[in-house]
Every structure is written in structure tokens, then in C-alpha cells.
């Protein structure tokens, strides 16, 4: 078994500001630079990302609440490996929650520019890990627009786990472009067309269920919306 933070790894990764540490660590997980078989510690991650151990500890705690990282007393942290049943339950909960949220968003479309900027970031992104995270962030920003904080918070507990499943098991068919799917949903929200928004989001979730519940391990750099 390999130690995670080797000197070669440390020199290969550039320094970035501490305020985006969560995104950087999550990107590394989704890129599978930190994977379920990796051995790492708070100290090795702190060295890798050039931050304090206390900063890393906070990120790992947040990721553990999202079921992305497993934390156990007297054991090293490890990346979770959601099985098919947990993924099925997560996607079912997302469907029930997110379809309600998109209907609510259609009733009060506002502050659309951040969502358009999110889609543009997706369009330009070519790195697998950040692309998966940005796709998930689109859904979370759309949920915030709906004006129901408890539902948006609940969705926030489901999207990271979906992103992890996408990173670990997904083979994307040709012709499926996530940012264009998101663009269609946002256009429907802007028109207050809840029927179309629900239809497009439903198809989107159907697609996720089809590929994640019949998974093919990832060995390439394909990507999918979360």
C-alpha cells in the first residue's frame, strides 16, 4: 500500500489560497488523486495543500458529514465507497427533493447571473474532478433560489455523495453534455415554465440513475453532470 503524500506528489501540486481548500480537497477526491485505497493523514494532506492541519481537519469533518470521507477513532481518514444500494437511496431522495425545489424556483426566478456563470465555468472546465464538482454546485445554487432553506440544506447532503459515485463509477456515452442540460433547465426556470423544468430535470435524474445503478468503473477522463 502506498503512502499518499509522496515528495513527488507534493511538488506536483501548486499552492492555492486556503479559502477554497474544501473545493481543492474535494476536486482531488473526484479526480481520484485521493481514492478509497489511498493512505493519508491530516498531516500529509496539510503538506500536500500547504495549509495547517486544523484547516484540513475542518474540511475532513465537513466531508464526513457529507459521507464522502469516513472518520473513525484511532484510524486514518479514508474516502468512502458508496455501494449500489446507498446510491439508489441517494438518487431517490434527490428526485423527491429536487423536483420540488425546481418547481419552487420557477415561482421566483431571480439572481440568475450566478447560475449562468456556473454553467459557463462548466462549459470551459476540462478537468474531471472540478467538472463533477461544478456540475453539483449548479444544482445547489438552483436549490438556493427556491427559497426553502431546509430542502436546499437536505439537497446539499445528497449532491456530494452523488458526485462521489459519479467519480468512482461512470462511463459517459457520447453526445451527453452536462452544461447544455443545465442551460435548458435554467432557461425553463427563467420562463417560469415549471412543466418543462421538471421534465428536463427528471430526464437528467433518469440518466444518472441509469448509469450509476449499472456502473462501469472509471479508468478514463469522462465526466457527467451531478
Based on the structure, what is the number of domains in the chain? 2
CATH number at residue 60: 1.10.10.10
For the chain, give me the number of helices (H) and strands (E)?
A: 10, 2
Q: With contact defined as beta carbons under 8 Å apart, do 191 and 183 qualify?
A: no
- Are 75 and 90 in the same domain? no
For the entire predicted model, the pTM comes to 0.80
CA 47 to chain centre: 24
pLDDT given at position 222: 42
pLDDT given at position 106: 95
pLDDT given at position 226: 60
Residue 215 zone, left/alpha/beta (φ > 0; ψ -120 to 50; rest): beta
CATH number at residue 174: 1.20.120.530
pLDDT given at position 177: 62
pLDDT given at position 40: 87
- Are 155 and 107 in the same domain? yes
pLDDT given at position 217: 53
Q: With contact defined as beta carbons under 8 Å apart, do 226 and 136 qualify?
A: yes
Domain extent for 57:
7-79
- Are 74 and 100 in the same domain? no
Q: How far apart are CA 93 and CA 115, in angstroms?
A: 23
Any bridge partners for residue 69, and if so which? Answer: 79
Tell me the average confidence (pLDDT) per consecutive run of 10 residues in the chain, 226 residues long.
37 46 93 84 91 92 92 88 92 96 91 90 88 92 93 95 87 61 95 96 92 64 47
| CB atoms inside a 10 Å sphere around CB 38 | 20
Q: How far apart are CA 30 and CA 27, in angstroms?
A: 5
pLDDT given at position 162: 93
Using the 8-state DSSP alphabet, how is residue 217 labeled? B
- Are 16 and 40 in the same domain? yes
Buried b (16+ CB within 10 A) or exposed e, 161-190: bbbbbbbbbbebeeeeebbebbbbbbebbb
Residue 207 grid coordinates: 440518466
Residue 93 grid coordinates: 431522495
- Are 93 and 187 in the same domain? yes
Q: Name the domain boundary from 50, 79, 108.
A: 79
- Are 88 and 169 in the same domain? yes
pLDDT given at position 10: 34
CA 189 to chain centre: 22
Instruction: Give a yes or no: residue 132 inside a domain.
Output: yes
Amino acid at each position: 500500500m502506498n503512502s499518499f503524500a509522496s515528495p513527488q506528489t507534493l511538488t506536483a501540486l501548486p499552492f492555492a489560497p486556503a479559502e477554497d481548500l474544501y473545493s481543492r480537497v474535494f476536486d482531488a477526491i473526484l479526480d481520484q488523486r485521493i481514492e478509497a485505497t489511498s493512505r493519508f493523514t491530516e498531516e500529509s494532506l496539510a503538506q500536500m495543500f500547504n495549509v495547517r492541519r486544523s484547516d484540513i481537519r475542518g474540511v475532513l469533518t465537513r466531508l464526513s458529514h457529507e459521507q464522502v470521507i469516513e472518520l473513525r477513532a484511532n484510524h486514518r481518514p479514508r474516502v468512502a465507497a458508496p455501494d449500489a444500494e446507498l446510491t439508489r437511496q441517494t438518487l431517490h431522495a434527490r428526485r423527491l427533493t429536487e423536483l420540488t425545489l425546481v418547481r419552487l424556483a420557477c415561482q421566483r426566478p431571480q439572481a440568475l447571473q450566478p447560475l449562468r456563470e456556473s454553467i459557463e465555468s462548466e462549459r470551459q472546465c476540462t478537468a474531471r474532478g472540478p467538472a463533477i464538482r461544478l456540475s453539483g454546485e449548479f444544482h445547489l445554487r438552483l436549490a438556493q433560489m427556491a427559497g426553502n432553506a431546509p430542502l436546499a440544506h437536505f439537497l446539499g447532503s445528497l449532491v456530494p455523495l452523488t458526485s462521489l459515485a459519479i467519480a468512482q463509477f461512470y462511463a459517459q456515452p457520447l453526445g451527453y453534455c452536462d452544461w447544455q442540460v443545465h442551460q435548458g433547465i435554467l432557461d425553463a426556470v427563467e420562463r417560469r415554465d415549471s412543466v418543462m423544468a421538471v421534465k428536463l430535470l427528471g430526464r437528467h435524474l433518469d440518466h444518472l440513475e441509469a448509469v450509476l445503478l449499472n456502473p462501469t468503473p472509471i479508468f478514463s477522463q469522462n465526466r457527467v453532470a451531478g
